[in-house]
Structure 1
Amino acid sequence: MFTIKGIELFEDGSYLPADMALVKSLLDLVERDFTQERDPKIYAMYLETTIKLLNKCVAFYLGKTVHEVIEQRIHQEALKLLRGTDLTVKEIANVLNLSDASWFSRCFRKYEGMSPVECRKKLRSVI
C-alpha cells in the first residue's frame, strides 16, 4: 500500500477509503500494543480521531466496538499461550500484562464458557 496526495492505495492502485484505512490502522496498532494499551480512547488519540468516529467505523466494518477488538486480541493471545506453552494461568496473565490472574480467569470463563485450565485440556486433546 502507498499514498498519493493523502489517498491510500493498494499495490494494484485501487483506492482504500479513509474509514477503512482508519480501521486497518487501528488493527495494526492493536496488534502492536495490545499487551500494553487497553484504552480505546488512547487508540483514537494515536489515530488522531475521536472515539465516536473510530467506534462507528469499526462497527461498520467489523460489527464490534474498539473495546471488543482489543478484548478479542487479548483472548486470541491467551488461547495461543494456553495451547502452545506450559505457562501457568498466573504467568499468562503476566505475559498479557493483566494485574490479576483471578480476574483474567473470570473474564476468560465469560468469553469461552470454561476456565483457562479446562480450555487448555480441551485444546490439547484436539491436537
Structure 2
Amino acid sequence: MNKAIEPSKLKIRNYVVYGEAGEMLSPAFVHCHQMEVTGKSHNWHIKPHIHSNLFQIFLMENGKTFFIGEHVRVELNKPSILTMPENTVHEFRQEREARGTVISISYALMEELLEHYPKGLTDLEKMQLFQQTDNRADFEQIFSLGRAVDEELRKDELGQQVTIRGLLGMLLIRILRLKQQEHPAQLPATHDLNYIHFKAFQNCIKQTNSSRKQIREYALELQMTPIHLNRICQSVAGKSALQVVRDHLILEAKRHLSYSSYSIAEIAHLLDFKEPNYFSRFFKKATGMSPKDFRKKKNKK
C-alpha cells in the first residue's frame, strides 16, 4: 500500500536545523546556534516544524520566549532547559532580548554517547522542560557545558571531536541527573537490555506506521516471542505492546489533524486503517472525541 505524504498538504516543515530542508545528516552531526541569531533571521517567530533523526537541547539563559508544542503552550521567562526528541512539532515566538544556545545532535551520535547507559535514550524520548528554581548551581553547570560545546565547535584544533564528545556526554548526564532529581524513578529499574529492545520496538512502529500490523509480526522482526515483547513493554513503559502501538497511532493522527490539510479519510489511509469509519471509532475511543471535533477544537486555538 502506498502511503506517501504529499508535502503540499503539510503545514509543518521538516528541517535539519532551521531552513535546511532535505539535507542528510552525518552520523556524527553536531550543531550549535544562538537563539538570538536564529530568532532575528526568522523575524522572531520560528514557525511549526519538526526535525527528523535529530535531538535538540535548548539552553535559554535569559529573556522571554513563548514556546508552543503539540500539547503545551508555555511562556519561558526564567532560565530554562528544554530537550526535544525527533519528530516533535514545535514553534517559538521570541522577544528580542532572549538569549540562549541550541545544540542539535544526530541520534547516531546520541547512541554512541549513551552507549554505556542506554536507559538514558528512553528517558530523553519525551520532551522535557526544566526551569530554574533553587537549582541554580545545576543550571549554571549545564549552561557552562553548552557554551563550551559551542566554543569548541568554532575551533579547528587537535582532538576537537574527542573534546566535543566528552562535553556532550557530560551535558547529557547532567540533564539526566536533573531529570532524576525533579522526576525520580518514573520508570522501574530493569536491565539495560530491556531498554535497548524497547527502543528497537519503537523504531519498528515508526517505520511501519500501520494499524494492521500484528504484535506477533513485530516480535518476529525483533527475534523474540510476543510474550517476551509484552514483558519488556510492561517493564519499561508500564503498558502492553499493543498499547504502545496504539499510543503511537493516536499521536500521529493528532499531528495530521493539527498540522496538515489531509482529510480524515486520507489520514486513515496513511495510518493503514482499512476504513475511515474504523479510524474514527478508534480515535474517539482513545481521546473521547471524533477526529472532526478534535480538528475543530485545534483550529479554534
TM-score, normalized by the shorter chain, greater than 0.5? yes
Structure-2-length-normalised TM-score: 0.37
1:36 deviation in Å?
A: 7.1
- Aligned with residue 242 of structure 2, among 52, 59, 67: 67
Match of 1:14 in 2: 116
Cα offset, 1:96, TM superposition: 1.3
Q: Say if 2:198 is the partner of 1:96.
A: no
Counterpart of 1:50, as a letter, is T
Structure 2 residue ranges without an equivalent (≥5):
1-110, 119-191
Distance 2:269 2:201 in 1: 24
Map Cα deviations across residues 67-106 of structure 1 (whole Å, 9 max, x no partner): 1111111111111110111222111111111111111111
Q: Gaps spanning 5+ residues in structure 1: where?
A: 1-8
Is 1:119 the counterpart of 2:221 in the alignment? Answer: no
Distance apart, 1:14 and its partner CA: 1.9
- Structure 1 residue 18: deviation in Å? 1.4
Shift of the alpha carbon at 1:65?
Answer: 0.9
The structure whose residues are more often helix, as a share, is 1
User: Aligned partners of 2:114, 2:258: CA distance in 1, in Å?
Assistant: 38
Partner of 2:213: 38
How many residues are paired up?
118
The alignment yields a C-alpha RMSD, in angstroms, of 1.7
* Contact 1:89 1:116 survives alignment (8 Å): yes
Structure with max Cα Rg:
2
Query: Which structure features the higher share of strand residues?
Result: 2
Q: Distance in 2 between matches of 1:22 and 1:12?
A: 15
Q: Which runs of 4+ in 1 moved over 6 A?
A: none
TM-score (norm 1): 0.84
